[in-house]
Structure 1
């Protein structure tokens, strides 16, 4: 199927590549279907593009590429809602706020996007961890802690 995107123009995606957010994402409760589109030359950064709204896309990253000690637990409700059977079923992304220069960009470590990679179900989870910020620097002293 072809979709219009915010950054890539028109692209073809496959049904199997659609992530379903059963309850949408915070701030966008009606947006339930997204796909991940890779960024050239940046293997750990992608665009999470709404399948239904061309102008809605988020820059997301693999948090472990930037924060090797990033760690959180999921509550039973989230595990059940996403149909997670084991840790091997899970992938996580964080939404970036991109700045120019890129070195000043930040990551929302307080609300990761958790994906069951076997079922393509996803949810943005709000953590209650004061060590993580919504605008955590990607680079520099704070990002390494």
Structure 2
């Protein structure tokens, strides 16, 4: 399928490479088909783009939490696992949506990328189905290491 994206240009994406989010994403519940893309030439091996196929002007930057040195676990309900056809947790990958933040003029250190750990994406690549796990609470454990 050929997709014209105002952000990424003309793309050719095979139908069998699409990922379906049966419930859409938070704020975009009506968009269910996405393509997970990676630009090899960009020099950002851990960064992927998630393109809304039916609204190609919508593109999210996503990465695995481990790529930004964050390790965390989450649990899916039986219903969530069934929705994406996940029988074995090792068949899932977890991604977080990234967003760029502009620097506050009084606090230049505030510029950078922010990752949304409260609503990660869980993908079953075998079934090409995914969901966004919106969490109201995250238990965290912090490990400090000297460098």
- Say yes or no: TM over 0.5: yes
Match of 1:115? 123
- Rounded Cα–Cα distance in structure 2 between residues aligned with 1:66 and 1:99: 16
Tell me the number of residue pairs that the alignment of Structure 1 and Structure 2 aligns. Answer: 135
**Counterpart residue number, 2:29:** 29
Secondary structure in structure 1 of the residue aligned to 2:45: strand
- Provide the C-alpha distance between the structure 1 equivalents of 2:100 and 2:36, rounded to a whole number of angstroms: 17
Query: How far off is 1:99 after superposition?
Result: 3.5
Q: Give TM-score scaled by structure 1 length.
A: 0.83
Q: Structure 1 residue aligned with 2:69, among 64, 67, 70? A: 67
TM-score where L is the length of structure 2: 0.82
- Equivalent residue of 1:43, what SS? coil
Between the aligned partners of 1:29 and 1:76, the Cα distance in structure 2 is 21
Matched, 1:105 2:113: yes
Instruction: Indicate the residue corresponding to 1:79 in structure 2.
Output: 81
Shift of 1:117: 0.8
Deviations 1:10-40, CA, capped at 9 Å, x for gaps? 1101111100011111111110100011132
Instruction: Answer yes or no: is the 8 Å Cα contact 1:6–1:57 preserved in 2.
Output: no
**Structure-2 change in CA distance of 1:38 and 1:6 (3 Å):** farther
Q: Post-superposition shift, 1:6?
A: 4.2
Secondary structure of 2:117's aligned partner: coil
Which 5+ residue runs of structure 1 have no aligned equivalent?
A: 133-141
* CA–CA distance in structure 2, aligned partners of residues 78 and 68 of structure 1: 23
RMSD of equivalent CA atoms: 2.3
Alignment partner of 2:25: what SS? coil
Moved more, 22-31 or 123-132: 123-132
